[in-house]
Structure 1
Amino acid sequence: MDEAWDQQMIYAAQTGEGASGGQNLEISFTKGQMAMQPQGNIGLHKKMAKLFHQYKKKGDETIFKKYAVRVTSDHSPNDAKISLTVAEKESSVLFSVENSGLQQVYFTLQNFDFVENIFTIRDCDGNLIRTITDHLLLPGDSYDIKINFTSDHPGFYEQILVFKFKRGYDHPEFFEIMRLLEVEFQIAQSEKDCLHGSEVRKRFQTANRRPFTRGENLATPVVHLKKYPITKNFRENKEIQEILRSNPLNWGNYSRRFHLLLHLEEYKIRKDIHQCSLNKVPLTFYEMDKNMLVVKAEHFLNKSLTVLTGCIVEVTPLKQKMDKVFYKGWVDDVDEEQIYLRIYEDLPEDFQNEVACSLVFLLHRMPLRIQHRAADLVRKHQLRDLVFPTQHSCLAPPIPKLIRTPVLESNPEQCRAVEHILARSAKPAPYLIFGPPGTGKSVTLVEVIKQIVKTQDCNILVCAPSNSVTDHLCKKILEENIVPRQVFRLYSLSYNANKIPESVKEHCSFDGTENYFEIPTKEELMSYKIMVTTLQSAGRLVTAGVPPGYYSYIIVDEAGQAKELECLIPIAGLLKPKTGQVVLAGDPKQLGPVIISTIAERFGLALLCKF
């Protein structure tokens, strides 16, 4: 064995007042000992387990309820022990540190606690991080890191991760969250062995679903999604307006300008959300679902509720004898009479009757972050001729021969539209289909999809701003029986399964028996000829690494209801402008997207609705 494997490593956990009860433990072992067989070296395994079990006595839920800080992983979101079997020399586990509380916290993770040359800390771009010291997490923030495993030697490896936190300044509180990472490395002797390793990992992931989220993402992240944080001192002021006024939108400032507009929107949304938080309000179970609470909209008198849908919510019952327990969830829906709060965990029967609670709403930044990324990818993939099309940039290939159908025979305008879309005559510019309701826009899109499938060997991505429009379009596609087994409806993991149309249920990844959604693997996502999803959920395809050009046609229905950057989510990162054709359909004279910031709206955040 290599001499380096005999070097001594010391792991010391200095815990202070925290999860492990204030004890100091030291475990000594060599790297040679770390490559133990699963049934061997039981003594070392017990040493590693001792430290971990001391932490487990208190458990994650106690820490989360007190400090509202959680560490989750992509392999085992709700378990302190992460176990996986790998057939490759290198593997990684994604960890997310989330602050869901109302106070900022600092966290530290040091790599000198790690087994040398076996486990390392890396950021989501793969860059090596030597240590993370006192990283600031504001309320509602999260921080993603990867723990990389590397070894040439098959065996069983363990690594304890100690995330150390402090909260407060004059008299700071210290606490810890611990994770035990177990990796069984098996060298694949044949293709069968490789397949077996993959099946073991899949079974492991399936066995560790988080029941209260009703979903699991099996698609490994490939394209990183940055945080795009708004600065602490960001304000709406005359200086920002003057910058926007004196620098009209152009290709040179496209990304920077839209980043600024999104920050203006976020700033205004945060202000409005903060005003919706209430100190005392009665909540009760929703009659159809005991994981959902309802509160009457009348309690939010003179407050805008538009911003609440999708927000994170923290519910704290006011009458509590001992520990201050709160429940976390999100705003599932808002109507004129009630607000519906879906809670992650099981709720006590107390909510059968009204329970007085305080409500704190926090912004869920994921939709904004996905739009920020789209603004970056527009530049990265050089989509200038898409967002600033000119006559010279648009080529005119020969018009293909269509397969005649009753729709085309009865409407010459629709026929011409279908011909030009199939010819991709507008690329790299988008092809526009516009008109008032009832003029046949959706019928034309379905006919386009039918003709593409019959005349070309390519893949189609179909999107819309809302789930209702997306479901309607998906039903129309399925009714035509174009390629029924190759149509997939991609939902978000938090979508209300009761709203899935009956005809669509067989074409999505919802399991009614187990009551959960899945985001399939990249390979499975790419096995479908027609992908149907919302603009936001299309970001999953970008993150999963579906390559640009895989979809020859990207179709957006009701584009007038979406912001420009929302429409770019499925385009920037998936479109190959020299070969792909974008189709935008909608009515520019109907109501456009909802923009909260009047400044952001004035300077073009909803630009696309102008067509």
Structure 2
Amino acid sequence: RVLLGVDDVKEGLKARRCNLSANNYCDLFPLLLHIEEHQMKIDIHTFDCDNQILKAIPGEHNLLALKVPGLAENRPSVLRGDAIYVEILGDENHLRYEGIVHRVRENDVHLGFHKNFITKYVKGMQLRVQFTFNRLPLRVQHRALSMLRRCEVQKLMFPSIYRGLFGVSPITNDGFSKWFNRDVSTNQQQMAAVTNIVFESASPAPYIVFGPPGTGKTVTMVEAIVQLWHIKKPHMLVCAPSNSAADVIASRLLEKGHIPASNILRMYASSRLWEAVPLAVRCCANYDKASEDYYYPTLAEIMKYHVVIVTLVTSAKLVTSGIPAGHFSHVFIDEGGHAMEPEVLVPIAGILTTEGHRGTFTGQLVIAGDPKQLGPIIRSTVANKLGLVFTMSCGASKCSQCPVVLIVRDPAGLVFEVFSIVGRSFLERLMDEVDLYSRDEEKDAYDSAVITKLIKNFRSHKDILNISNSLFYHKELKSNDLDLIGYLGSAPLTRATFWYPSVMKSETRP
């Protein structure tokens, strides 16, 4: 009721039943983020527990260990730097003491407390433990929406209004002296995508590269980054929703040495375990071996690098540091289908936007992903606590004319509709609702000046692709004729599509 500003929740939700637009963009998303945060608070407190014991750690006088069942499965999710609160059972004042997570292990965490608690700590004392979640990801998304409003670029989130302002025919690849990845040089779709990204055929609209797993989306992004560096030497920002996805891009950029490691910065947040950083990427990470900890480069240091690779949330640090608008000529976002739309805005607002140039982007945005794969994971209060199923207001399974809504039945039997806009990625919304990225059914093709569909699959046998190809990809996917002999060696081959090799390994955790 407080978030909606009404006494009647049902009426408040009905009053806000409207399609997402440039006019309500910066009002609706903050509301949905607040609702999401409310559910996150409810979820995290389900892990609170009494009668817990902290144990001393040999050689660590300022740290105490807390056993957390389910930690290895992220139930709850705890990262370095998070806060966990403890209360001494029987304390009449009910004082809560904040413990900061210094290490996350398989079954326990090491917490650092203020001396006020350390002096009271007694071995075996019973405690009430309360978990929290880090609000930083939500805070930077709210800030991005606020900056977007100040820079008056809401309309750029609906780029169909720019159709026809730039050439819609694909650009040829005459400007390249060579292709750095041989596989790309034999793939027509990847070549077209790289060429149009380099020469910004979609500007000012985002350029989209999409396709199912194994079609080379990340390879295409890497080739475009390398080509840009050799042709123009620009400054580029590369983002992904997760550290693992960002590490893949960094590893592939470093693998062949087409861009010197001295020109690449892989910037991590302090919560990232150094042991989890791939060995190949450590040479360009913001990690100080002497202090055995991460450091944050100064603005001047960051601006020296031609390629900066971060997660979407960590890119907020670049905005905070004051990176001048226009410094990054391109912002690449890989795995864009996995991120909520406000999360994608974090590296856009303040980096591609400026109040000095209202209503325009100062560089090219490139998004790669697949709207047919798993989308953003949300914990909406109405979806999880009250509710039920996804549907469309017209009753269809998919309709570009209708917003995606939730039909929710509360305990009193009242039925109302709630938007699930926040559970959809920016990539999916553009492809579903913006004409610029729609498929021309007469030509059976997309406008390659703004979007490229990758169809050559390097990972799956044609029989494995068959179902998804028929259901989602207009039967256009092509298997790359995998060399099964190369994969299986001397193993006997049969007519079966699936082959399960045995792997003898052991899984270890720090």
Q: TM-score, normalised by structure 2?
A: 0.65
AA partner of residue 413 (structure 1): Q
What amino acid does structure 2 have at the position aligned with 1:499? A
Secondary structure at the counterpart of residue 351 of structure 2: coil
Which residue matches 1:365?
135
The structure 2 residue matched to 1:605, chosen from 409, 422, 426, is: 422
Pair 1:510 & 2:287 matched: yes
Q: Which amino acid aligns with 2:47?
A: C
In structure 2, the CA distance between the partners of 1:323 and 1:370, relative to structure 1 (3 Å rule), is: closer
**Structure 1 match to 2:43:** 272
5+ unaligned residues in a row in structure 2: which ranges? 354-359, 384-405, 407-418, 432-510
- The structural deviation recorded for 1:480 is 2.5
- Residue 519 of structure 1 aligns to a residue whose secondary structure is coil
Instruction: Output aligned runs, 1:72-83, within 5 Å.
Output: none
Paired letter, 2:166: L
Counterpart amino acid of residue 147 in structure 2: L
- Aligned in 2, Cα 1:426/1:298: closer, same or farther, shift over 3 Å? closer
What does the per-residue CA deviation read over 1:296-317, in whole Å, with 9 as the maximum and x for residues that have no partner?
43699xx993666675211345
The 2-side partners of 1:313 and 1:426 are apart by 47
Deviation at 1:555?
Answer: 0.4
Tell me the matched-pair count: 377
1:255 is the counterpart of 2:26: yes
Cα deviation, 1:283-302, whole Å, max 9, x if unaligned, reads: 557899995734243699xx
Indicate which of 126, 143, 147 corresponds to 1:377: 147
Name the amino acid aligned to 1:544.
Answer: S
Asked if 2 retains the 8 angstrom alpha-carbon contact of 1:490 and 1:532, the reply is yes
**2:272 matched to 1:495?**
yes
User: What amino acid does structure 1 have at the position aligned with 2:285?
Assistant: C
Which residue, out of 328, 331, 336, partners 1:554? 331
Larger relative contact order (CA 8 Å, sep ≥ 6): 2
Check 1:380–1:286 CA distance in 2 against 1; reply closer, same or farther (3 A cut). farther
CA–CA distance in structure 1, aligned partners of residues 206 and 110 of structure 2: 39
Deviation per CA, 1:21-42: give whole Å up to 9, x if none. Answer: xxxxxxxxxxxxxxxxxxxxxx
> What is the alpha-carbon distance in structure 2 between the residues aligned to residue 239 and residue 292 of structure 1?
50
Report the counterpart of residue 124 of structure 1 in structure 2: none
- Residue 546 (structure 1) shift: 0.5
Q: 1:565 to 1:322 in 2, by over 3 A?
A: closer
Please say if 1:237 is aligned against 2:9: yes
In 2, Cα distance between equivalents of 1:235 and 1:533: 42
- 2-structure distance, mates of 1:333, 1:236: 44
Q: Report the AA paired with residue 138 of structure 2.
A: L
Superposed CA RMSD: 3.8
Q: 1:527 to 1:321 in 2, by over 3 A?
A: same
Matched, 1:595 2:378: yes
1: CA distance, partners of 2:133 / 2:382: 20
Q: How many percent of aligned residue pairs carry the same amino acid?
A: 32
Q: Aligned partners of 1:456, 1:543: CA distance in 2, in Å? A: 27
Q: Which residue identity lines up with residue 472 of structure 1 in the other structure?
A: V
Output aligned runs, 1:451-466, within 5 Å: 451-466=227-242
For the 8 Å contact 1:284–1:355, the answer to whether it is kept is: no
Distance 1:304 1:457, change over 3 A: closer
Once the two structures are TM-superposed, the CA of residue 457 in structure 1 deviates from its matched residue by: 2.8
Residue 441 of structure 2 aligns with which residue? none
Instruction: Return the offset for 1:597.
Output: 0.6
Given the superposition, is the C-alpha separation of residues 287 and 589 from structure 1 closer, same or farther in structure 2, using an over 3 Å criterion?
farther
| Counterpart in the other structure of 1:293 | 65
1:584 corresponds in structure 2 to 367
Q: 1:476 to 1:299 in 2, by over 3 A?
A: closer
CA-CA distance at 1:605 after TM superposition: 0.8
Please tell me the residue identity of whatever aligns with 1:362: T
Structure 1 SS opposite 2:290: coil
Counting only pairs closer than 5 Å after superposition, residues 395-544 of structure 1 correspond to structure 2 as 395-396=166-167, 399=172, 401-405=175-179, 406-481=182-257, 482-544=259-321
Q: Which moved more, 1:398-407 or 1:343-352?
A: 343-352
Counterpart Cα distance in 2 of 1:396 and 1:521:
40
User: Within 2, Cα distance between the matches of 1:375 and 1:321?
Assistant: 44
Judge which range, 595-604 or 379-388, deviates more: 595-604
State the Cα distance separating 1:379 from its structure 2 match.
Answer: 2.2
C-alpha distance 319-517 of structure 1, shift in aligned 2 (>3 A):
farther
Matching residue's letter, 1:457: K
Structure whose residues are more often strand by fraction: 1
CA distance in 1: counterparts of 2:229 and 2:186, whole angstroms: 21
Partners of 2:342 and 2:60 in 1: CA distance: 35
1:599 and 1:322 map into 2 onto residues whose CA distance is 36
The SS at the match of 1:360 is: strand
CA distance in 1, matches of 2:123, 2:306: 50
